[in-house]
Amino acid sequence: MFRKRTANVLILAFALMMMFAFVGCKDVSVSKLRANYHFSKANQLFNDRKYSKAIVEYENTIKYNPQLKEAYQFLGESYKSLFVPAKDTAENKEKADKALEALKKAYEIDPNNKQIIYSLGDMYDRLRNFGEAENMYLRIIDLEPGNMNNYYVVAEFYRRYAGEKKELQAKAESMYLRRIETDPENVQGYAYMADFFDKLPATEYKDKFDRALDFVKKRQALEPGSAEVFYTIGVNRFQKAYQLQNFLDQKDREAIAADAEKNLFKAIEIDPNLAESYAYLKILYINVHSKLYPERESRYQELANQYGNKWDEARKHQLDRMKLEKELKKTG
């Protein structure tokens, strides 16, 4: 009994000590506790994509802790998630204004936070405010010049606007090249650069296939036994023979088509489960070979059907393997 009573006295004394200790900063401590409570609720609502309710809780968080940058950041993200680009209504404009206001406040508190800068740039991007978005994205590169992924983000940003401003194609290309220079042994840089050229309009950039191929070859030098690389070369050659058929003579098309076929076969030899190789052989025979050699059209149609069936089989194996891997992850 004595020990129990002593314990109760000690607990009471500790509680009184803590109460008096916080007299001078009671409001601050209680405010922070309330802020944390609302912030935790807000984050759960945000994760559940209940953005309107999350906004209320983030605003309550800020009321109790006006310097919590994360609350402003995710308040802005919540408004951004509710904003619909190009929807011209007063309510939608208000969401955009609120998103910018919150994200700017977060940036003001922590101007070197990459995530906040990216989020603010993304909001300007959604508003088609090219100048402000560009400033934000370039600031990320200034903060982390050695992070090659930052160059990819900026390059993709330039590429999205290149349809409106042709000079941005050169800026995008420059960013992809800077990404490669940051880590020349990384195959991803060459893959992104090749993809950049592949996506240019063929009628305006007739050299795009060969320029893309140059970077695929550089990637191949780093991973010479990759089935994916041989597949990529095959697709590149097919696309050139098909998309530029009205600009190439018969002899050139024949050579390019033969190169496409050779590389797709090599991809299959290395990895028979790479289903896409069979698919491209099918369309190569239908769309290129049968047009180049009309006297063999029936033969190429037969080959197309054959590789179409192989595509179905390989794709089924792919899906079965993905399903098994997913189940193994669940059980693991």
Instruction: Lowest mean pLDDT of 2-16, 32-46, 265-279, 310-324, name the range.
Output: 2-16
pLDDT band (50, 70, 90) for residue 19: very low
Q: Determine, yes or no, domain membership for 269.
A: yes
What type of residue is 230?
F
Tokens matching residue 315: 């794709």
Tokens of residue 146, six digits? 């050695």
Task: Examine the pLDDT at 21 and tell me if it is beyond 50.
Answer: no
Please indicate, yes or no, if residue 320 is contained in any of the structural domains: yes
How far apart CA 156 and CA 167 sit, in angstroms, is: 14
Domain-embedded: residue 46: no
Domain with 264, as residue range(s), is: 225-332
For residue range 52-91, list pLDDT tens digits in order.
999 999 999 999 999 999 999 999 999 999 999 989 999 9
Q: Which residues of 184-207 are buried (b: 16+ CB within 10 A; e: fewer)?
A: eeebebbbbbbebbbebebeeeee
Sequence length of the chain is 332
Specify the range with the lowest mean pLDDT, choosing from 22-26, 117-121, 303-307: 22-26
Q: Give residue for tokens 């994509």.
A: 49
Distance of CA 191 to the CA centre of its chain: 15
Structure tokens at 107: 């940036």
Q: Is residue 73 part of a domain?
A: no
Where helices occur in the chain by DSSP H, the ranges are 2-21, 26-47, 51-64, 69-82, 90-109, 114-126, 130-143, 148-161, 167-182, 187-198, 208-222, 227-243, 250-270, 275-284, 290-292, 297-331
**236 occurs within a structural domain:** yes
Residue 16, pLDDT score: 29
Q: From 198, 286, 294, 297, select the one nearest 250 (Cα to Cα).
A: 294
The per-residue pLDDT for range 210-268, each reduced to its tens digit, is 999 999 999 999 999 999 999 999 999 999 999 999 999 999 999 999 999 999 999 99
Q: Is residue 217 part of a domain?
A: no
Quick check: is 332 in a domain? yes
Checking if the pLDDT of 20 tops 70, the result is no
State the pLDDT at residue 10.
32
Half-sphere exposure of 136 (CA within 13 A, CB side): 25
Q: Give the sign of the dihedral formed by CA 149, CA 123, CA 171, CA 231.
A: positive
Q: Which long-range contacts (CB under 8 A, 24 or more apart) does 248-254 make?
A: 250/292, 253/288, 253/292, 254/292
Please compute the mean of the pLDDT values over residues 145-151 and round it to a whole number: 89
pLDDT of residue 28: 56
Q: What is the DSSP letter of 246?
A: T
Q: Which residues, other chains included, contact 158 with Cβ-Cβ below 8 Å and sequence gap of 6+?
A: 168, 169, 171, 172, 175
The tally of domains found in the chain comes to: 1
Q: What six digits make up the tokens of 94?
A: 């208000």
- 229 falls within a domain: yes
Percentage of the chain beyond pLDDT 70 is 91
pLDDT in tens, 122-145: 999 999 999 999 999 999 999 999
